[in-house]
Amino acid sequence: PDTSEIRVIFQPMNRVLTVPAGTPLFDAIGLAGIAIESICGGKGTCGKCRVILTAGTCTAAPEAGTGCRLTQKERDEGYFLACQVTLTRDAEFTIPVESRIDSPQILITLPVAPAGIEPAVMRYRVETAPSNGLPFASRSIRFAGYSGLRPRISDEQYKALLAAETPQEATLSTARSPPAVLAISPAGTASPLYGVAIDLGTTTVVGCLARLDTGAILATASSLNRQITYGEELLTRIGYSGSPAGLATLQRAAVSSINDIIETLARTAGISRTEILDTCIAGNTVMNHLLCGINPRYLELADAPVSRSPIQKNARDLGLAVHPDAGVYCLPNVSRFVGGDAIGDMITAGIHTSDEVSLLVDLGTNGEIVLGTRHWTASVSCASGPAFEGAGIRAGMRAMRGAIDHVHVDPVTGKVCWSTIGSAPPRGICGSGIIDLAVAMVQTGALDFAGKLNSRHPQVRTGPEGAEYLLVVAPETGTGRDIAITQQDIDYLMDSKAAACGAIAVLLKKYKCAVADIRHLYLAGAFGAYTDIANAVSFGILPRFTAATVHSIGNGSLSGAYATLVSTRYRMAAEELARHMVYIDLLVDTAFAEEYAAALYIPGKQELFPPSS
């Protein structure tokens, strides 16, 4: 085998990298620190990781893997899919604008401090018993005001306490059992107690730094989850984790993503990372498994039993860049795809304290839906989210600069108009824009109630993949290429909307709730924050809840993690919710097939969409 080293240049970043011959181009892009779109995890099917060979040579996989996503014209112009290329000689590539992940719009909402601050880490004054002639090592100590299990204390800490000539304080963590003494310091000299709450999302990671004694939030930060390189969909990552090496890679990527956030938070607040003494993390079931190095392959099985106890570790065990003995509390999972993030949403929404029937909908990369009151809750999950985040759509992209985020029909001219994030030339269309566009296409006759493009409409033409709707012509775009929505894109969007609406319908049917019975609709995440809810109802993603008050709770996952960080009462509430929540696995539920089929029309079943009052 060729063991020589080759040089690869990436433009327009002017990034130069030396790698061994035979290195996959996709890996080299990651080593160069360049974030590039990838949904399929390197299978060559999503077509998002496009690059242009501008100098040198490379070896590409057979065209059978790429022909469905690259046209002959693109191949003639030097386009390749990065995941299908092996570097064999010096080469230079351009990463086109549509392939770059550039400053994505990440939702950060500041959590509200709970009424009572009761953190798992507190400081206590130390009292030592008089010697009374006892040997040095036999003297006892106690922590004033503390009642609970006897805490662990190292020999060094014990000796330091007994030898101290001034009053001392102990920083005590009850995050794990038995409790542990984290630090000893002279009374009144220690710095404030700090903790970090993290929302470990499939796509993004968001965190906040808080004072544990007051609940005050000192800094927030966000970034993309480094696991994206290995696939955007949960099932893709589960597949990648099938080998010990793959699982270790994804675990390191999750830890690195969180450590990036921690570094930013500590720097912003002007503190040392080792001053962070507690960490609470809310993530879906797969993210929790991957973070903690637990093989998630069994989650592919329908009705697989999932532990509902919270995963708790020491920071040292995971490699988190905080105090090595800091506790790490992962909000408990409920099922295969209803995890700690949904529990965080529930805590934020307050459904567990309300007598009124509420519905919680979180359509992220994975869709999680919960129905209930403080007396009972039931949940389902559905694979609907990616389409509403721009994934799986040929012209789809993340919510970042240049993404078409809203579309509407001009009431006077009847023309379809659009706006972009940052008012930049359009590069593609993100989730909120796709939903708006679907409704606009129905209103203008370009799309029928069955989700089929009308070939007689002036904006509908025949493209390389069949019928497509031309939204923006090439001269007006930021990529120099037309932005069009294909029939395949519409089919995928219809499938996603039917999955979401069908999942909600199953919950309503199981618990004999009509749409008028729902008093509160809680929408979590970017879907709730940025989507035009009226359009989501018109298209048929959400039923028309005629008597419900709609609440957008922002990043409920982060808010829930923060609540459990500053109050152990919320940890108990989270565990209670997870223990008693019913989960309905739609893969084996016969009612879902019926509800899904009925939702494959715009908007859907008549009883779910009564006329507006």
User: φ, ψ for residue 285 (rounded to 5)?
Assistant: -60, -40
Please indicate, yes or no, if residue 399 is contained in any of the structural domains: yes
Please indicate, yes or no, if residue 565 is contained in any of the structural domains: yes
Across 236-252, average pLDDT: 94
Contacts of 46 (CB under 8 A, 6+ apart): 38, 39, 40, 69, 392
Across 74-92, average pLDDT: 89
What pLDDT does residue 118 have? Answer: 93
Last residue of a domain, one of 186, 210, 228: 186
Residue 134 CA to its chain's centroid (Å):
57
- The CA angle 365-295-284, to the nearest 5 degrees, is 30
Q: Are residues 93 and 241 in the same domain?
A: no
Number of domains in the chain: 5
* pLDDT exceeds 70 at position 180: yes
Residue 452 contacts residue 485 (beta carbons within 8 Å): no
Give, in order, the Cα–Cα distances in Å from 490 to each of 339, 366, 407, 435, 451.
29, 19, 16, 10, 7
What number of other Cβ atoms are within 10 A of residue 492's Cβ?
A: 18
Length of the chain: 613
Please indicate, yes or no, if residue 516 is contained in any of the structural domains: yes
* Structure tokens, 45: 């099917």
What pLDDT does residue 532 have? Answer: 94
pLDDT in tens, 526-582: 888 889 999 999 999 999 999 999 999 989 999 999 999 999 999 999 999 999 999
pLDDT in tens, 349-381: 999 999 999 999 999 878 999 999 999 999 999
Phi-psi region of 164 (alpha: psi -120 to 50; beta: other; left: phi over 0): beta
DSSP state of 408: E
Q: Are residues 57 and 89 in the same domain?
A: yes
Q: Are residues 421 and 462 in the same domain?
A: yes
Across 379-405, average pLDDT: 84
Query: What percent of the chain lies above the pLDDT cut of 90?
Result: 63
Last residue of a domain, one of 147, 170, 186: 186
Sequential DSSP letters for 428-456: EE-HHHHHHHHHHHHHTTSB-TTS-B-TT
What pLDDT does residue 104 have? Answer: 61
CATH (domain of 353): 3.30.420.40
What number of other Cβ atoms are within 10 A of residue 26's Cβ?
A: 21
Please indicate, yes or no, if residue 425 is contained in any of the structural domains: yes
Last residue of a domain, one of 186, 206, 234: 186
Residue 567 contacts residue 114 (beta carbons within 8 Å): yes
Give, in order, the Cα–Cα distances in Å from 343 to each of 119, 208, 224.
19, 18, 22
Q: Are residues 375 and 507 in the same domain?
A: yes
Using a 10 angstrom Cβ sphere, with 0-12 exposed, 13-18 middle and 19 or more buried, the burial of residue 373 is middle
Please indicate, yes or no, if residue 253 is contained in any of the structural domains: yes
Q: Are residues 139 and 81 in the same domain?
A: no
Q: Are residues 501 and 598 in the same domain?
A: yes
Across 493-506, average pLDDT: 96
* pLDDT exceeds 60 at position 135: no
Amino acid sitting at position 126: V
Q: Which of 63-77, 153-167, 273-287 has the lowest mean pLDDT?
A: 63-77
Strand partners, 520: 358, 549
Residue with more model confidence, 394 or 603: 603
Query: In the chain, what is the straight-line distance between the N-terminal and C-terminal CA atoms, in Å?
Result: 73
Q: Are residues 267 and 322 in the same domain?
A: yes
* pLDDT exceeds 60 at position 30: yes
Residue 202 contacts residue 234 (beta carbons within 8 Å): yes
Q: How far is 605 from 36, CA to CA, in rounded Å?
A: 40
pLDDT in tens, 192-218: 999 999 999 988 899 999 999 999 999
CATH (domain of 40): 3.10.20.30
* Structure tokens, 589: 């539920």
* pLDDT exceeds 70 at position 487: yes
Supply the range of the domain harboring residue 87. Answer: 5-99
Residue with more model confidence, 133 or 412: 412
What pLDDT does residue 356 have? Answer: 97
Residue 427 contacts residue 472 (beta carbons within 8 Å): no
Residue 356 CA to its chain's centroid (Å):
29
What pLDDT does residue 1 have? Answer: 47
- 483-486 vs 194-200, strand pairing mode: unpaired
Amino acid sitting at position 198: I
Residue 338 contacts residue 381 (beta carbons within 8 Å): yes
What number of other Cβ atoms are within 10 A of residue 141's Cβ?
A: 16
Three-class DSSP category at 541: coil
Amino acid sitting at position 97: V
Please indicate, yes or no, if residue 340 is contained in any of the structural domains: no
Q: Are residues 27 and 93 in the same domain?
A: yes
Please indicate, yes or no, if residue 106 is contained in any of the structural domains: no
Q: Are residues 554 and 485 in the same domain?
A: no
Q: Are residues 222 and 269 in the same domain?
A: yes
* Structure tokens, 521: 């609709």
Query: What percent of the chain lies above the pLDDT cut of 70?
Result: 94
What number of other Cβ atoms are within 10 A of residue 514's Cβ?
A: 15
Please indicate, yes or no, if residue 342 is contained in any of the structural domains: no
Q: How far is 439 from 441, CA to CA, in rounded Å?
A: 5
- 466-472 vs 460-463, strand pairing mode: antiparallel
Three-class DSSP category at 474: helix
What number of other Cβ atoms are within 10 A of residue 100's Cβ?
A: 17
User: φ, ψ for residue 239 (rounded to 5)?
Assistant: -65, -40
Q: Peptide bond preceding 12: is omega within 30 degrees of 0, i.e. cis?
A: yes
* pLDDT exceeds 80 at position 69: no
What number of other Cβ atoms are within 10 A of residue 520's Cβ?
A: 20
State the chain's mean pLDDT as an integer.
Answer: 90
* pLDDT exceeds 50 at position 64: no
Q: Which of 59-63, 249-253, 417-421 has the lowest mean pLDDT?
A: 59-63
Residue 339 contacts residue 330 (beta carbons within 8 Å): no
Give the predicted TM-score (pTM) of the model: 0.84
Q: How far is 171 from 43, CA to CA, in rounded Å?
A: 50
**pLDDT band at 110, cuts 50/70/90?**
low
Q: Are residues 449 and 318 in the same domain?
A: no
Give, in order, the Cα–Cα distances in Å from 542 to each of 363, 410, 446, 499, 505.
11, 24, 22, 11, 10
Three-class DSSP category at 218: strand
What pLDDT does residue 105 have? Answer: 63
Residue 334 contacts residue 575 (beta carbons within 8 Å): no
Q: Are residues 381 and 501 in the same domain?
A: yes
* pLDDT exceeds 90 at position 229: no
* pLDDT exceeds 90 at position 469: yes
**pLDDT band at 459, cuts 50/70/90?**
very high
Q: How far is 69 from 53, CA to CA, in rounded Å?
A: 17
Residue with more model confidence, 421 or 437: 437
Across 103-111, average pLDDT: 65
Residue 330 contacts residue 288 (beta carbons within 8 Å): yes
* pLDDT exceeds 60 at position 515: yes
Q: How far is 146 from 138, CA to CA, in rounded Å?
A: 21
